[in-house]
A and B are shown apart, each in its own frame.
Chain A
Amino acid sequence: MNFPILSSLILLPSIGALFLFFTKSKSENKITTKYVALFTSLVNFFLSIYLWFLFDQTTSAFQFVEDRVWIKGLINYKVGVDGISILFIILTTFITPLCIISVNNSVTKRLNEFLIAILVMETFMIGVFCSLDLVVFYLFFEAGLIPMFLIIGIWGGARRVYSAFKFFLFTLLGSVLMLVAIISIYWITGTTDVVQLYELGIDTKYQNFLWLAFFSSFAVKTPMWPVHTWLPDAHVEAPTAGSVLLAAILLKMAGYGFIRFSLGLFPSASEVFTPLIYTLSVIAIIFTSLIALMQEDMKKLIAYSSVAHMGFVTLGIFTIQQQGIEGSIIQMISHGLVSAALFLCVGVVYDRMHSRLIATYGGIVTVIPKYAILFMVFTLASLGLPGTSGFVGEFLILMAAFKDNFLVAVLASLGVIIGAAYMLWLYKRVIFGKLINSELKKMIDLNKSEAFTLTCLAIPTLYFGFYPEPLINTIEVSIRDLIDTYKFSVASKQ
Chain B
Amino acid sequence: MNNIELIFPEIFISLSIMFLLILGVFKKDSSKIIHNISLLVLLITAVITFNETLSINPTTLFNESIIIDYLSSFMKIITLLATFVVLLISSNYLRTFKIFKIEYPILILSSVLGMMIMISSNDLIVFYMGLELQSLALYVLATFNRDQLKSSEAGLKYFVLSALSSGLLLYGCSLIYGFTGSTNFNVISTQFNTNEYAITFGIVFILVGLAFKISAVPFHMWAPDVYEGSPTSVTLFFTMVPKISALTVFIRFLYVPFLNLIDQWQMILVFLSIASMLFGAIAAIGQKNLKRLIAYSSISHIGYALAGLATGSNEGIQSSVIYMTIYIVMNLGFFSCLLMMKRNNIYYEQIDDLSGLSKNHPLLSISLLIILFSLAGIPPLAGFFAKFYIFKSVIEQSMYFLAIVGLLSTVVAAFYYLRIIKIMYFDEEKDSYDKDHNLWLKLSLTVSTILILMYFIFPSELIDVVLKINII
Contact = CB atoms under 8 A, between A and B. Distances in A.
B379 A183 contact: no
A187 B379 CA distance: 21
Interface stretch (B232-240, B340-348, B389-397): B389-397
Contacts of A71: 459-460, 463
B391 A179 contact: yes
Contacts of A184: 395, 400
Interface in A160-182: 160-161, 164-165, 168-169, 172-173, 176-177, 179-180
B422 A153 contact: yes
Nearest to B427: A161
B395 A72 contact: no
Nearest to A75: B459
B428 to A, nearest CB: 12
Name the interface size band of chain A. Answer: 20 to 34
A176 B410 contact: yes
Contacts, number: 82
Interface in B399-418: 400, 403-404, 407-408, 410-411, 414-415, 418
A186 interface: yes
B426 interface: yes
B376 to A, nearest CB: 9
Contacts of B426: 153-154, 160-161, 164
Contacts of B378: 142-143, 145-146, 172
Contacts of B388: 135, 179, 183
Interface residues of B, number: 29
A169 B411 contact: yes
Contacts of B400: 180, 184
B305 to A, nearest CB: 18
B270 to A, nearest CB: 16
B70 interface: no
B415 A165 contact: yes
B196 interface: no
B464 interface: yes
A256 interface: no
A138 interface: yes
A149 interface: yes
B379 A180 contact: no
A142 B460 contact: no
B404 A177 contact: yes
Interface string A105-142: 00000000000000000000000000000010011101
Contact of B463 (A72, A172, A176, A183): A72
Contacts of A176: 404, 407-408, 410-411
Given A71-B459, A146-B373, A153-B422, A172 B380 contact: no
Given A139-B379, A164-B422, A187 B407 contact: no
A150 B422 CA distance: 9
Contacts of B422: 153, 161, 164-165
A143 B392 CA distance: 19
A211 to B, nearest CB: 16
Nearest to A139: B379
A46 interface: no
B7 to A, nearest CB: 34
B380 A70 contact: no
A417 to B, nearest CB: 39
Contacts of B440: none
A300 B274 CA distance: 40
A186 B464 contact: no
Interface string B455-472: 010011001100000000
Contacts of A74: 463
A419 B205 CA distance: 66
A168 B463 CA distance: 30
Contacts of B460: 69-72
Nearest to A138: B379
B258 interface: no
Residue among B384, B391, B395, B464 having the largest count of chain A Cβ atoms under 10 Å: B395
A143 B380 CA distance: 6
Interface string A57-89: 000000000000111101000000000000000
B411 A172 contact: yes
Contacts of B323: none
B391 A180 contact: yes
Contacts of A177: 404, 407
A150 B424 CA distance: 11
Nearest first, the 4 A-B pairs at minimum CB distance are A176-B407, A139-B379, A183-B395, A72-B460
Given A72-B464, A165-B418, 19 more contacts: A72-B460, A139-B380, A145-B378, A150-B425, A153-B421, A153-B425, A154-B425, A161-B426, A164-B426, A168-B414, A169-B415, A173-B408, A179-B407, A180-B391, A180-B403, A180-B404, A180-B407, A183-B391, A184-B400
Interface of A: 69-72, 74, 135, 138-140, 142-143, 145-146, 149-150, 153-154, 160-161, 164-165, 168-169, 172-173, 176-177, 179-180, 183-184, 186-187
18 contacts: A70-B460, A72-B464, A74-B463, A142-B384, A143-B378, A143-B379, A145-B378, A150-B425, A164-B422, A169-B418, A173-B408, A176-B404, A179-B391, A180-B400, A180-B404, A183-B391, A183-B403, A184-B395
